[in-house]
Structure 1
Amino acid sequence: MKPTCLHPAKSNAPSFASFPAHITDELHRYDAYLRDVRGLAAETRKNRLRVVGLLLRDRFERCAIDFRKVRPDDVRQFLSAQLRAGGLASASHLAATLRSYLRYRTVCGDQPGKLSTVILNPVHWKLASLPRALKPEEVIRLLDAVAGARRWPKRSHVIVRLALDMGLRSSEIAHLMIRDIDWRAGTVTLRGTKSLRQDVMPLPMACGQALADYLQHERPATSHPAVFVRRVAGRDQPVTSTAIQKVIKRACRS
């Protein structure tokens, strides 16, 4: 079931007295998603909601929330301010929280791929050099780089697309199965996520086209259900998350 119309149980939700009413309403909806779809505990939800509330207040304190108006620089400046202030959260927690909220907005029908590039590699953030969003021409160069790869260019292209357009983690890409793609509905089901729940996400057209191209023209002939397969000791196995990370890193260096 696609969680686009969750109704929050406000009696059990955290209190957000410091935020305007329209932001509080958005936080209650996000809380319902974290609780009912992601299966997160109350304390984890509280921490994530606090961070998202601050981001929304920075951008929409005096106007209605329109996620289409959030720019990469808005996210970058927010991250910079929070890391400099210290005490609110570590870089990894900020990244996990914002990635979670971007996923929620994707499920709601937004396309936050351009924002995902800001938090693509959060582990080694430094205050003086926070990751910046890729410009459109840089995204094109990145995709051109993988398209020109000597080995498995279509596989590399779709892997980078899944990371950029849908914000999927390397482990989620590695564990993606053929059955998880609903071509008719235009969705991808993520199974075995950290919450141990199923997460249904819209499949952007560019991602869908790249997946179809890879599956039809480059994926090895195999009965294994994984989208990305390798042959080890004569047996087909899904690729590892480390292998996915190497593809993305190689593309960024090109």
Structure 2
Amino acid sequence: MLEFYFSYCGVLKRLRSGALGGEMDRLAEHFFTLGYKRASAKIYLSRIARFSQFAATRCGRMPIHQDVVDSYLCTFTTDSPRIGAASALGHARRVAPERFIASPPKVDDDPDTPLLTSFSDYLRKVRGLEPTTREGVLLGGRRFLDWFRHHHPGQDLEALTAEHVLAAVEHRLSLSATTGTRTAATSHIRTFLQFLCWAGHHDQDLDRVVPRTPHWRLAHLPPRLAWDDVRRAIDAIGATTPVDIRDRAVLLLLATTGIRNGELRAIQLQDIDWRAGEVSVRRTKGKRDRVAPLLEETGAALADYVLRARPKVDSPYLFLSFTPPVAPFKCASPVSRIVRKRLRHGGVELGRVAGAHLLRHSLATQLVKQRRPINEVADLLGHRSVNTTALYVKVATSQLAEVALPFPGGVA
């Protein structure tokens, strides 16, 4: 398989020598299968070959110890080559894991690691929090522990008092700049203290000591776009390249169904009911599957993408990245970049918030302005409570003006 990328006999001989020489053809097939461009695959293979020569001087044909990998990466004096080499070696590990010996697990010097691990399990199994939310709460618990260890070194958590809790809360609030971050900080401390009592690390329920910080959820208008701007951005997307076809389908699906970023990434081909014109939305924030209707234009854009543009790979997911290796979107950033790119191309001025949720806010605002029932909007967005959807009623200024009462003593 190496002959597909290299033609000179001397180069092929060099590539097939070294500690990983016997795996180079498998690696070449690996990059070909993943759809890497020829030039990119050659760069990766060359990086692996250089490491292979280095490892041969240290361990010959024996399995490669992690110390050899670390020593090789330390030979680079700048970040970019080191990162590129580490990325290439990551592919080598995945293709030939038997050629590498993992280092023994390092001993963690942090005495709070078992406690935080138990706290993470509590958040996942008892509270049922999603990974992203769990990370934020876990960070809040770690910060509380760090404060306690710093200000009261050597003391056990059983010695924790209400005075300690109030002092820790005061410290965290002094570092918070907005009402949202202040509310999150106190909520995370409260959750951690509940865990300490639940797990038997403290005999008092100290979460009641944590003060409630004022945060008015409906105090601000949601970021949104005028529907004409959304329409102009979608119309500005061409249909000449596979990327254009995919991006148009992405924006139409986000703008007409109001699904979230993660929900879009989780959609599989089997979730689309083409005859009924519906898409099943799974793995939602509220842990409740729902069905969203597909407008005719959105359904046509999705069909065009599946038939003409979607990469021919064995993946159940609907939307795929065109950048090798071709795979589903693993995180929210690629989808947000697509939205920002297409909105800017359509001449839309973007503020601080620009992503899939901006289109969700814009759709909800448009539906409320069209006087659609609030419970219908809540069902479309997947809100458990109508109170969550009530945020968008604030932007319907014309309807609010109609229900405004006359000012006492004013002109009737």
TM-score of the aligned structures, taking structure 2 as reference length: 0.29
TM-score of the aligned structures, taking structure 1 as reference length: 0.46
Give 1 or 2: higher helix fraction.
2
